[in-house]
Structure 1
Amino acid sequence: MTKPSIVFLHGSGTNADIFRLQTRKLAALLQPHFTLLYPDAPYPSGPGPGVLPFFEGCDPFATWMDDSSAAAEDAYWSLEDDDSGAARLLESVERLVREEGGGGELVGVVGFSMGAKVGMEVVRRLEGREDAGGGGVKVVVCVCGTVPYRGGGDVAREEGGRRMLGRGVVRVQSVHLMGETDPWRAEGEKLVGYFGEEGRKVMWFKGGHHMPAEDAVNKQVARIMLAACGKV
């Protein structure tokens, strides 16, 4: 029997193999019901925050975009452009689902840090298709997410954020996991506003910018995802 797929998007300065280790508790709960897919980001990078020394020797590291400069808006967030990075990323995710997902429909996205905002845009694109009869994602999990338009200074960030919100919020059910001591928690809180209020859940865990370690938190997230996908 073909299982539906969930895509896991790692943070910046890490890779898919590392993210498999970081998400092992949640993955173990989802594995019986879904095909779990872990793509590598396309652009080489140095190690991200907290990657070293624990993951020394686990390179190469990668990132989804360079959002550290004013060039970021043109490089990735030209969202109205069908040739933008977001569109290309969606194509690569869909190809991964076809080739490694065994034909199962993409029903969920789990994204950490930069992977959360990238996942948000993938789902936004799919929802645009859903209006025309496509799509199928039921739930998005954002862990310690960062907001779009970090690059380009305060004015560019605010303008980019307004433009994105003007295109409408992401409508699918969402879970937002935020560490109480995450130095980027303000960005995670702001990212919540890019998702519709209906079906949106914010959960706090003890810790910083990392996947939650508590079994109870992972079990709760798994239950939400299973219910959203009709698996309970």
Structure 2
Amino acid sequence: MRVLCLHGKGTSGAIFRSQTSSFRARLADKNIEFDFVDGPFQSDPAAGVDLFYSPPYYAFWDSDSVDSVRAACAWLNDYIAKNGPYDAALMFSQGCVLGSSALLFHQEETPHLPPPFKSAIFICGGASLNVLVELGFHVSAEARERDAASRSALALQAGSSAVLTKGANRWTGLNSLDGGLSEEELRREITSPSRIQIPTVHIYGSKDPRYAAGVHLSGICDPENRRTYNHGGGHEVPRTDAVSRSIAELFQRALAQTTS
């Protein structure tokens, strides 16, 4: 089995390899090849990343416009054509935006062709709201407000100062906007004319400022083919034994669905 791995903005393939090492160690006896690719753009480090990892850092685009995301999807499809095929994609943060956009554009524009990968594992990431609107989704004002606020909160909570002064306690989510809403209520904030059909796994943390974005992404995927898991933490790939075991199990189920 071959898995394409798409990192977050301001990190790299090597950093994503390190970030996922804990749960991947539980898959060591499986015949899985992980391909950690670097984004095509050099980038400043993501907030707090330079405390733990040295450069270089990369991104899949330098602007959140639909044209930039489309260009990144074209780059991704070219990479897959040259280096694939892949049974699954493992993605974090901006990597989730890229992978979900590639799947949505594929379903809209080339549904007669096989999808870029057969299953998707999204960690702490959402979809591009601009892409969703471009494709005819209705995105509520509440979802837009939450998305904008969460980006600012993430920069503060993930930043070097917060890491050094608060450690794991820096993650407080976006309680002022998320509080009291169930996952199903959050999913209803984006109306889907269609859904991503391949098997998906959605891993997000309730203390992540981008928690709602992860739930929103799960809502535009086929409910019969999706699995969700709230790891309870922040914008990170948790490394505790219990969470790593759960992620590894979900990962194996997603891969199993590609051959069923």
Does TM, scored on the shorter chain, surpass 0.5? yes
Q: Are residue 109 (structure 1) and residue 135 (structure 2) matched?
A: no
Cα-to-partner distance string for 1:55-92 (whole Å, 9 max, x where unaligned)? 2xx21111011235xxx222224xxxxxx331221111
* Conservation of the 8 A alpha-carbon contact between 2:206 and 2:233: yes
- Rounded Cα–Cα distance in structure 1 between residues aligned with 2:113 and 2:9: 33
Contact residue 200 and residue 254 of structure 2 kept, 8 A: no
Report the CA distance between 1:108 and its aligned residue. Answer: 0.8
Runs of 4+ more than 6 Å apart: none
Q: Corresponding residue for 2:27?
A: 30
Letter paired with 2:121: V
Pairwise CA distance, 1:39: 0.3
Structure 2 counterpart SS, 1:161:
helix
Identity of aligned residues (%): 25
> What is aligned with 2:253?
227
Partner deviation per Cα, 1:96-125 (whole Å, 9 max, x = no partner): 33xxxxxxx411111100111112233445
- Within 2, Cα distance between the matches of 1:126 and 1:30? 30
- TM-score, with normalisation over the residues of structure 1? 0.76
Match of 2:128 in 1: 148
Q: 2:188 is matched with which residue?
A: none
Instruction: Check 1:107–1:125 CA distance in 2 against 1; reply closer, same or farther (3 A cut).
Output: farther
Q: Which amino acid in the other structure matches residue 162 of structure 1?
A: V
Q: Are 1:210 and 2:236 an aligned pair?
A: yes
Mapped to 2, the partners of 1:133 and 1:7 lie a distance apart of 19
Distance 1:226 1:167 in 2: 30
String of CA shifts for 1:184-208, please: whole Å, max 9, x gaps: 2222222222211112122111321
The 5-angstrom pairing of residues 75-94 of structure 1 reads: 75-77=68-70, 84-94=71-81
Aligned to 1:44: 42
Cα gap change, 1:137 to 1:127, in 2 (>3 Å): farther
Corresponding residue pairs, total: 202
Q: Give the helix-richer structure, 1 or 2.
A: 2
CA spacing shift, 1:193–1:162, aligned 2, 3 Å:
farther
Task: Tell me the amino acid that sits aligned with residue 2 of structure 2.
Answer: S
Distance 1:221 1:129 in 2: 32
Name the CA shift for 1:186/1:54 in 2 (closer, same or farther; >3 Å).
same
What CA distance in whole angstroms lies between the structure 2 residues aligned with 1:168 and 1:180?
26
Instruction: Point out where structure 1 has 5 or more consecutive residues left out of the alignment.
Output: 78-83, 98-104, 150-156
Partner Cα distance (2:107, 2:47) in 1: 32
Q: CA RMSD in A?
A: 2.6
Residue 100 of structure 1 corresponds to which residue in structure 2?
A: none
